[in-house]
Amino acid sequence: MDIHEYQAKEILNKFGVAIPDGALAYSPEQAAYRARELGGSKWIVKAQVHAGGRGKAGGVKICESEHEIQDATNEMFGRRLVTHQTGPEGKGIYRIYVEAAVPFEREIYLGFVLDRSSQRVMIVASSEGGMEIEEISAKKPESIVRSTVEPAVGLRDFQAREIAFALGIPSELTQQMVRTLQGCYRAFTELDATMVEINPLVITSDRRILALDAKMTFDGNALFRHPHIAELRDKSQEDPRESRAADRGLSYIGLSGNIGCIVNGAGLAMATMDTIKLAGGEPANFLDIGGGATPERVAKAFRLVNSDENVQAILVNIFAGINRCDWVAEGVVQALQANPVDVPVVVRLAGTNVEEGLKILAKSGLPIIRATSLMEAAERAVSAWKNDLSQNTRMRIVK
């Protein structure tokens, strides 16, 4: 789960990371009022969206008067901000963060991520901040500092000082840098985060170390331990298909193809998507209905996939071990009887109670295309989609 910049800053500040003064606004008038509260003569207004590259897309503005703040935020509110991370559809701007401008001398990149190869938290830092880590890696790879934290002891002061020295932090600011690193690490581990990024972390003209921007991502499977973090979720920034799936306990990722997938097991779901592409199609989603695929759960998955306007065929691929094929078949029949679909449906069942499942599909009288292998199912789904598309095209021509 992602959160907004202002939320990440509030969290990190509680763990000892220094941040500039700032306040949230939901209208241009409120943004100007926030600037008056903050004081000063220059402010930064930032669109709060779950994406990087906001500055290049016009989502970050420097303002020197309340009039400029109102003009800048008036252009932002309600607009969809398109960056290289959002895709062409962009993300809606419904919140603005107003921050007091801070003069600074240096920018630093600081990130905490989970390194799956070493199964450790890795700190990635660079003396060349203000740009994305991919750009830093390409242009100045020698500036990147990496340090892995031993989980048995955590981030020790000596390790934090080594990172500070490697980044060229002045000696009088070393302790501030250690405090910042320790705060980020504690926030990462105590809140079950999967990523903490501060870019840029700056050295100000008055010799402070401040986080000018911050991002945090959390492990969705651990949110039950942190209800105060779960409350920070902003559904307006999420794919509506993924939000609906999460609310129904389904693991779903929307894609740009047109063949909907309903599969049990993440590995089988990945294999199904690969096979669809091999057969000449494009998957519309990743959907894992999990181990307990009851008829009701399968029906929910069907309604979710069918709600995607891009879906022009549906492939159900179930290998039943913990599941039962007859349950899945009942769910498919229930879903199609309650909400008939106008796209081809291909079902491949294997495993526990497969004969009973196939009988249920056959007795239903529904136009379900059956397959015995994954490759056959993918080929039939692609073929059915193309035939259906061709038929619809001919019908439009006749009309």
Fill in the amino acid letter for 152: A
Calculate Rg over the CA atoms of the chain.
26
* Phi and psi at residue 180, to the nearest 5°: -65, -45
Binding residues for substrate: 264
β-sheet bridge partners, residue 25: 96
pLDDT for 336:
85
Active site residue 109: yes
240-392 CATH? 3.40.50.261
Beta-carbon count within 10 A of 133 CB: 19
Superfamily for 20-101?
A: ATP-grasp fold, A domain (3.30.1490.20)
Name which of 304, 322, 332 is nearest 248 in CA terms: 304
Does a cis peptide bond (omega within 30 degrees of 0) precede residue 200?
Answer: yes
Measure the CA angle with vertex 164, ends 158 and 170; round to 5°. 120
CA dihedral angle for residue 167, residue 169, residue 173, residue 174, rounded to 10 degrees: 50
Count of alpha carbons within 13 angstroms of residue 333, beta-carbon side: 16
- Binding residue positions for ATP: 46, 53-55, 99, 102, 107
Task: Give the Cα separation of 103 and 205 in Å (integer).
Answer: 6
Domain boundaries, the chain: 20-101, 104-237, 240-392
**The pLDDT of residue 234:** 87
Across the 399 residues of the chain, what is the mean pLDDT of every consecutive 10-residue run? 94 96 94 93 93 86 93 91 81 92 93 91 90 81 91 94 95 95 96 94 94 94 92 82 70 85 88 93 86 71 83 88 81 83 88 89 89 92 79 43
Task: Please pick, among 5, 6, 97, 109, the residue that the annotation labels catalytic.
Answer: 109
Annotated binding site for Mg(2+): 199, 213
311 alpha carbon, distance to own chain's centre: 22
Of 5, 128, 185, 197, the active-site residue reads: 197
Q: How far apart are CA 385 and CA 260, in angstroms?
A: 11
Nearest to 317 by CA among 282, 285, 339, 350: 350
pTM above 0.85, yes or no: no
Distance CA 57, CA 82 (A): 6
- H or E segment at 96? strand 96-100
Which residues are known binding-site members? 46, 53-55, 99, 102, 107, 199, 213, 264
Assess whether 26 carries a catalytic annotation: no
Residue 398: what pLDDT?
39
Res 391: pLDDT: 56
| 104-237 has CATH 3.30.470.20 classification | yes
**CA–CA distances in Å: residue 240 to residues 244, 245, 250, 307, 343:** 6, 9, 13, 10, 21
